[in-house]
Structure 1
Amino acid sequence: MIRGLYTSGWSLMANSKKMDVVSNNLANADTNGYKEDIAIFETFPEKLTRRINDTRSASNPSAKVGNMRLGSDIGEIFTNYEQGKLAKTGNNLDFAIQNSKSAFFTIGKPDGDGNIQEYYSRDGAFVVNSLNQLVTKDGLYVMGQNGPVTLDSDNFTVNNDGSIVQDGVVVDKLRISEFTDTRSLIKAGSNLVQKDESTEEQPFTGTISQGFLEGSNINVVKEMVDMISVMRSYEANQRLLQAQDSTLEKVVNQVGSVR
C-alpha cells in the first residue's frame, strides 16, 4: 500500500512536469521561430526497499522488503526542429530560413568582459539600432562574416545565400550556422539555442527569404489535447492517492486497534 502511495505521488510529479512543457508550448504558439518541446517518459529505475533501522529479524536480517517501481518519469525534453509556416510581411528587415530545419541565424551576445558569445535563433524579426547595426528585438547582434552586420541604411536586399547588397555592392553576408544534428543543441532562453562540445557544423544548404517570417511549429489543437490528457491523468492519480490514504487510515485506526 505504501508502494502505491509512492507510485501515485511520483506520477503526479511527472504529469506536473509534462504540464509545464505543454503550457510553455502554448504560451509560445505565436513566437517567431519557436520550436516545440516534447516530454519523453521513461520507466523509473527499480528500487530496493528496506525497513529502516530494522536488522534484528532472525528470518530477514537484511531488512529487505522487496523491489519497487515508481512508474514513469520525464526522462528527456526533446525539441522538434521541424520548420514552421512562413508568413509574408513585406518588411525588408524580416528574414526566414527555408529548406533546412537545422540552420540558424547566428546571434552575438556581449558578455561582461565585452566579448561576444554566439547563440543561434530561427527568429528573423530584426531591427536596425542607432549605430546602423542589424540587431534582434532584444538588441543582440546579428552576426555576419565580418562580425556584427553594419549597414549604411535600412535600404538593402539579401540574396538567397544570405549575401547583403547595398547600392549594387555586396557589403557582408549573414552568418548562417547549420548543424549536422540538432539533438546536441541546448535551449538558452529568449528564443535562443546554443551548441555543446559535440555539436558539428556543416555548409548551409537552405535559402534565405527576405520579407518573410517563420512562425512556431506548434500545433495548438495537439497541445490542447495533450493538456487535457495530462489533466485527466493527474486527476486519476490524485484519486488513487486519496483512496490509498483512506484505506491506510482504516488499517491504522481500525484493523490495528486492540479491543
Structure 2
Amino acid sequence: MIRGLYTSAYGMLEESRRMDVISNNLANVNTTAFKKDSAVLESFPDILMTRINDVASKTNPSGRLGKMQPGSDVGEIFTYYTQGQLANTGGSLDMAFKNSDNAFFTVGVPGAEGEFIQYYTRDGAFTLNAYNELVTKEGYAVLGENGVITLSGEDFTVAEDGTVYQNGEVLDKLLIKSFSDTTTLRKLGSNLVETTDLTEEEPFSGMVMQGFIEQSNVNVIKEMVDMIAVTRAYEANQKVLQAQDGTLERAVNEVGAIR
C-alpha cells in the first residue's frame, strides 16, 4: 500500500513536468523560429527500500525491505528542430532558412573579458543598432565570415547562400552553421542554442530567404490536446493516491484498533 502511494506521487510529479514543457510551448507559439520541446518518459529505476533507524532486527539485520518500482519519469527533453512556416514580411532585415532544418545564424554574445562567444539561432528577425551593426532583438551581434556585419542602412540584399550585398558590392557573408545532428545541441534561452562535444558540422545546403521570418513549429491544437491528457492523467494519479491514503487510514485507525 505504501508503495502504491509512492507510485502515484511519482506519477503526479511526472505529469507536472510534462505540463511545464507543454505550457512553455504554448507560451512561445508566437515566438519567431521557436522549436517545440517534448518530454520523453523512461522507466524509473528500482529503488532499494530500507528501514530507517531500524537496522538491528534479528530477523533482518540489514534493514532492507526489498525493491520498489515507482513507475516512469521524465528522462529527457527532446527538441524538434523541424522548420516552421515562413511568413513574408518584406523587411530587408528579416531573414529565414528554407529547405534546411539544421542551419543556424551565428551570433556573438559578449563574454566576461569582452570577447565574442559564438552561439546559434534560427530567429532571423534582425535589426540595426546605433552603430549600424546587424544584431538580434536582444542586441547580440550577427556574425559574418569577417566578423560583425556593419551596414550603411537597410538598403541591402542577401543572396540565397548568405552573401550580403550593398551598393553593388559584396560586403560580407553570413556565418551560417549547419549541424548533422541537432539532438546534440542545447538550448540556452533567448532563442539561442550552443554546441556540445558531440556536435558535428556539415555543409549548408539550404537557402537564405530575405524578407521572411520563420514561425514557431508549435502546433497549438496538438499542445492543447496533450495538455488535456496530462491533466486527466494527473487527476487519475491524484484519485488513486487519495484512495490509498483513505484505505491506509482505515487500516491504522480501525483494523488496528484494540476493542
Counterpart of 2:174? Answer: 174
Map 1:190-201 to 2 at 5 A: 190-201=190-201
Deviation at 1:58, TM superposition (A): 3.6
Look up the match of 1:248: 248
1:157-236 superposed matches below 5 A: 157-236=157-236
The match for 1:28 is 28
Corresponding residue for 2:72? 72
Distance 1:144 1:59 in 2: 73
SS of alignment partner, residue 30 of structure 1? coil
Deviation readout 1:26-51 (Å, 9 max, x if unpaired): 00011110001010000000112122
C-alpha displacement of 1:60 = 3.0
CA distance in 2, matches of 1:55, 1:183: 46
The alpha-carbon deviation at position 127 of structure 1 amounts to 0.6
Q: What is the DSSP-based 3-state SS (H/G/I as helix, E as strand, rest coil) of the residue aligned with 2:42?
A: strand
Partner of 1:48: 48
Distance in 1, Cα, partners of 2:179 & 2:134: 23
Separation of aligned partners in 2, 1:138 and 1:52: 52
After TM superposition, the structure 1 stretch with the greater mean CA deviation from structure 2, 130-139 or 61-70, is 61-70
> Displacement of 1:53 after TM fit?
2.8
**Cα deviations by residue, 1:208-230 (Å, 9 ceiling, x for unpaired):** 00000100110100000000000
CA distance in 1, matches of 2:52, 2:30: 52
**TM-score, normalized by length of structure 2?**
0.97
RMSD over aligned Cα atoms: 1.0
Q: Any idea what the Cα deviations from partners look like across 1:169-209, whole Å, max 9, x if unmatched?
A: 11100111111111110000011101112211111111100
Cα shift at 1:61: 2.9
How many Å separate the matches in 2 of 1:57 and 1:174? 71
Matched residue SS, 2:223: helix
Please give the alpha-carbon distance, in whole angstroms, between the structure 2 residues aligned to 1:129 and 1:85: 27
Q: Provide structure 1 residue ranges, at least 5 long, that are not aligned to the other structure.
A: none
Q: Matches of 2:232 and 2:210 in 1, distance apart?
A: 45
Of the structure 1 ranges 212-221 and 108-117, higher mean CA displacement relative to structure 2 is found in 108-117
**SS class of match (1:152):** coil
| Aligned residue identity for 1:121 | T
Residue 99 of structure 1 and its aligned partner are, at CA, apart by 1.0
Residue number in structure 2 paired with 1:107: 107
CA distance in 2, matches of 1:59, 1:139: 68
* Alpha-carbon distance in structure 1 between the residues aligned to 2:2 and 2:185: 41
**Alignment partners' CA distance in 2, 1:24 and 1:86:** 22
Tell me which amino acid in the other structure corresponds to 1:146: N
For residue 161 of structure 1, give the secondary structure of its aligned residue in structure 2. coil
Q: C-alpha displacement at 1:15, in angstroms?
A: 0.6
CA distance in 1, matches of 2:121, 2:252: 58
- Normalised to the residue count of structure 1, the TM-score between the two structures is 0.97
- 3-state DSSP of counterpart to 1:90: coil
SS in 1 for 2:226: helix
- CA–CA distance in 2 between the matches of 1:33 and 1:12? 31
Render the CA deviation track for 1:135-166: whole Å, top value 9, x for unaligned.
01111100101111111221100000000001
Residue 86 of structure 1: CA displacement?
0.4
1:133 partnered with 2:133 = yes
Say how many residue pairs are matched. Answer: 259
